[in-house]
Chain A
Amino acid sequence: MAKKLKQITKFMALCSLIILGACTQEKEFVNEHNHPKIDFKEKSFKEALSMPIFNDAYQKVAKRKSAFKSSDEARTALEEQFGFTIVEDSPIRIITDQNGTIFYTILIEREIKEELVFENLMIKVEDEETTAAIFKYTLTEKGTIIDNNNYVINGISSTEYTDLNIDSRVFYNAGGETCSIINVLLCDTADHRPAGHVATSSCWNGNGNTIYFGTALACVDNEQTSGGGANGDPGGPSSNNTGGVGASGGSSDPIVASPIPCKTGNCMEEVIVTPCEDLANHVDPAKGNVKPSVDWLKGILGNPLLNRFEFGTNFRKLADVNTGGYYYTCTNVGNFDNEAVQLTYTSANVGGAHNHPITGDSMFSFGDLDLLLDMYDTAGPNRKPEVVLMLVCLHPNPGLAALGVTSTYAVKVNDVEKLRAAINAKKNNPDYNGLSEKEKHNRINDELSLWYSRNPNKEKTFLQYFGNYGVDVYKANDNLSNWSKLTLQPNATGVLTVNQIPCI
């Protein structure tokens, strides 16, 4: 009966779900996702029971045997049946969408607690019909406490869904489709963190966040539809026929759910792109659209007031709750106080870009590769293939550099373990014994820079030193309409030269 809302790892955008907070707040939000208005409340359990709609809905769900004898014995038939207890000192999240549908999300717990697991009872009141379901989330790592009882959860390894079939109505109604949507209130921060943050008090503190209904796509996994009851199925409410595929009678048809808001089943298919296609996607105005940011960095190199400093850009790939697809953002990070620019990244990041100033080197530094590795490690599984670090720099020929001629490079990971091992091996070279991590970093960067300064062909120098680092480097043409992979090849006389293999 409990259906597995497995997240497809290949497609998993690691959500940051936030569990219910402890305080009671009310607020209305207008969001930027074309949902006119939603209403969000948090009430204590007792307060919620005083609300007729919730009380009525809850009674239908709970089918109480008796009135509370004490708080310890306040177990309902539902609780008896499924073995959970409502956490009454945690607030109930009440969401009313623009259609008037009300969702009550209630934190529940079990006597035997499982590590890295939390569960919500969700009650939905739609057109005076009440449905309910239990969502069991298994996390990939411990949540981080941000305030009171709010936790930021950085990843979910699986989600199990159990429909309670209130009066034979199912909470999750696939309506015969292969895939359907589960509504969750999400928080989208001003800097467009990945969708999938269940909203709490941390999301409306005047910092430009928006609240909107997000959707998790749930699909029947056709490969696992053999049916049959799940082990330990407590019986109770009849199993549902979600998606029209699962069998009745305790079917354990697993349902696959992507945490990525998605309104069609199409996004479940993994799309494999080559590095060349990926770079083209990054530039495509309908996708990554990084060209304005690259042009911005080029403009900085042409500005004598700014071209002595590094600037950066964050690339992110975010779920689009309206289309079910993705959209990309490029956030330029200024450096108008001549400081050390910080690129911040999350699992939604797909890399970034930066410039090297006129006094810097016209090629990637060792620190750049370290940054690329960290970005790659942080990116969600389905975003890793898209991770790229771009560099905008002046032409290595001083004469051309003085005229403002720039080059744009991109470095991508082709073997992350090789990259990791190579970076660690370099840092652990006995030449750097006794130095701190920062001192090592400084020396390695500086010593690479020495070689760049002594070799006019920076591309060749990079390929010579980083050819075995598990990365590939690409060079763009002036308008970024094409990229070429740079490789070292022996020429007719056996001398290694830089070979450009155009993507197109």
Chain B
Amino acid sequence: MKKLNLLLLFILSLNGYSQTLTLGEILDIDQYGWENSQGTYYKDLNNVLDPFVGTYVYENGGKYFKIVLQKKIQSTNGYCYVDLIIGEYQYIKDGVEKVNTLNRLTIINPDKRVHTITGNGILTGQTNGCYDCADDEQRLRLGIVDATSGAIGSIQIRRVIVGGQDAIKFNMYWHIRGRREEDPELLNPELKGGEYIMIKQP
């Protein structure tokens, strides 16, 4: 009877396994990018994403901007696997909440790239405008999609210390867009581009 149970368990586990993508080669996330291999797991082997995880807040001049960054492992849409950072945020201006996507932190989807902010790019040294960065300093590069306006942006996050507190310099710009003149004017995202110095929350 014990043998039968074990056999049954083995068959069930095989069945479950066949419904998911076969885990293939494991590569570091620095190999993830333009052309990814089916079945490969692009893993954060060196845990370079971990230092950026946290909740950060910017508050100044009637603007309150809170972002939650989480690390997600083995995100997949069935093609390959990848570790990445996802983010959702809240933006309040003059007491009026303009954007709040924080409830999306709980969405259940094996493909974590559906979050508002996603990515796993690591920039090292002074590239992409960080002229005072140390040669081995690592920054995080992410992408953002504004659901309301459809605008797409790029984010660069640098870890800094502000007044003895852990913080990030959150730099974001929205990409240029085109529209045919006869089409309605495109909405602009509520959260403006720029550099936000955000304090890490306990």
Q: Does B associate with A?
A: yes
Tell me if B36 and A431 are in contact (CB < 8 A). yes
Residues of A within 8 A of B194 (CB): 308-309, 338
Given A310-B176, A338-B192, A435-B113, CB of A193 within 8 Å of CB of B128: no
Q: Kindly state whether residue A398 has any CB partner on chain B within 8 Å.
A: yes
Residues of B within 8 A of A451 (CB): 33-34
Complex Cα distance, B131 from A109, in Å, reads 69
Chain B: which residue is nearest A358 at the CB level? B129
Q: Kindly state whether residue A188 has any CB partner on chain B within 8 Å.
A: no
Chain B: which residue is nearest A307 at the CB level? B129
Tell me if B195 and A308 are in contact (CB < 8 A). yes
Q: Kindly state whether residue A245 has any CB partner on chain B within 8 Å.
A: no
**Minimal beta-carbon separation of A154 from chain B (angstroms):** 7
Tell me if B123 and A360 are in contact (CB < 8 A). no
Complex Cα distance, B177 from A344, in Å, reads 9
Tell me if A310 and B175 are in contact (CB < 8 A). yes
Residues of A within 8 A of B77 (CB): 430-435
Complex Cα distance, B125 from A430, in Å, reads 33
Tell me if A446 and B174 are in contact (CB < 8 A). no
Tell me if B178 and A345 are in contact (CB < 8 A). yes
Partner of B189, one of A339, A367, A454: A339
Tell me if A340 and B189 are in contact (CB < 8 A). yes
Q: Kindly state whether residue A423 has any CB partner on chain B within 8 Å.
A: no
A357-401 vs B, Cβ < 8 Å mask (1 yes, 0 no):
111110001010001001100100000000000000010101101
With a 10 A CB-CB cut-off, give which of B121, B177, B195 has the most chain A CB atoms: B177
Tell me if B113 and A443 are in contact (CB < 8 A). yes
Complex Cα distance, B192 from A341, in Å, reads 12
A414-457 vs B, Cβ < 8 Å mask (1 yes, 0 no):
00000000000000001111111011011101111111011000
Tell me if A442 and B118 are in contact (CB < 8 A). yes
Partner of B173, one of A357, A402, A449, A450: A357
Complex Cα distance, B34 from A365, in Å, reads 12
Tell me if B174 and A310 are in contact (CB < 8 A). yes
Q: Number of contact residues on A: which range applies?
A: 35 or more
Residues of A within 8 A of B87 (CB): none
B133-163 vs A, Cβ < 8 Å mask (1 yes, 0 no):
0000000011111000111111010000000
Chain A: which residue is nearest B150 at the CB level? A438
* Stretch of B3-11, B65-73, B91-99, B180-188 with 4 or more beta carbons under 8 angstroms from chain A: B180-188
Number of residue pairs A-B, CB distance < 8 angstroms = 181
**Minimal beta-carbon separation of A287 from chain B (angstroms):** 23
Tell me if B121 and A453 are in contact (CB < 8 A). yes
**Minimal beta-carbon separation of A432 from chain B (angstroms):** 8
Complex Cα distance, B129 from A343, in Å, reads 25
Q: Kindly state whether residue B50 has any CB partner on chain A within 8 Å.
A: no
Tell me if B141 and A453 are in contact (CB < 8 A). yes
Complex Cα distance, B36 from A396, in Å, reads 25
Tell me if B34 and A359 are in contact (CB < 8 A). no
Residues of A within 8 A of B186 (CB): 340, 342
Chain B: which residue is nearest A446 at the CB level? B143
Chain A: which residue is nearest B119 at the CB level? A446
Given A338-B193, A338-B194, A443-B143, CB of A309 within 8 Å of CB of B128: no
Chain A: which residue is nearest B183 at the CB level? A344
**Minimal beta-carbon separation of A450 from chain B (angstroms):** 4
Task: Give residues of chain A (462-500) contacting chain B, Cβ–Cβ below 8 Å.
Answer: 465
Partner of B34, one of A152, A342, A398, A465: A465
**Minimal beta-carbon separation of B113 from chain A (angstroms):** 6
Residues of A within 8 A of B38 (CB): 430
Tell me if B180 and A378 are in contact (CB < 8 A). yes
Q: Name 5 extra pairs, CB < 8 A, besides A340-B152, A345-B180, A431-B80.
A: A346-B180, A401-B131, A434-B114, A446-B119, A453-B121
Nearest 9 A/B pairs, CB to CB: A358-B129, A340-B174, A398-B126, A446-B143, A338-B193, A340-B151, A338-B192, A450-B33, A339-B188
Q: Could you list some 25 contacts between A and B, CB below 8 A?
A: A308-B193, A309-B194, A312-B176, A337-B192, A339-B188, A339-B192, A340-B153, A340-B176, A340-B189, A341-B176, A341-B177, A344-B181, A357-B173, A359-B171, A367-B152, A398-B126, A438-B150, A439-B145, A442-B144, A442-B152, A448-B34, A449-B154, A450-B32, A453-B121, A453-B141
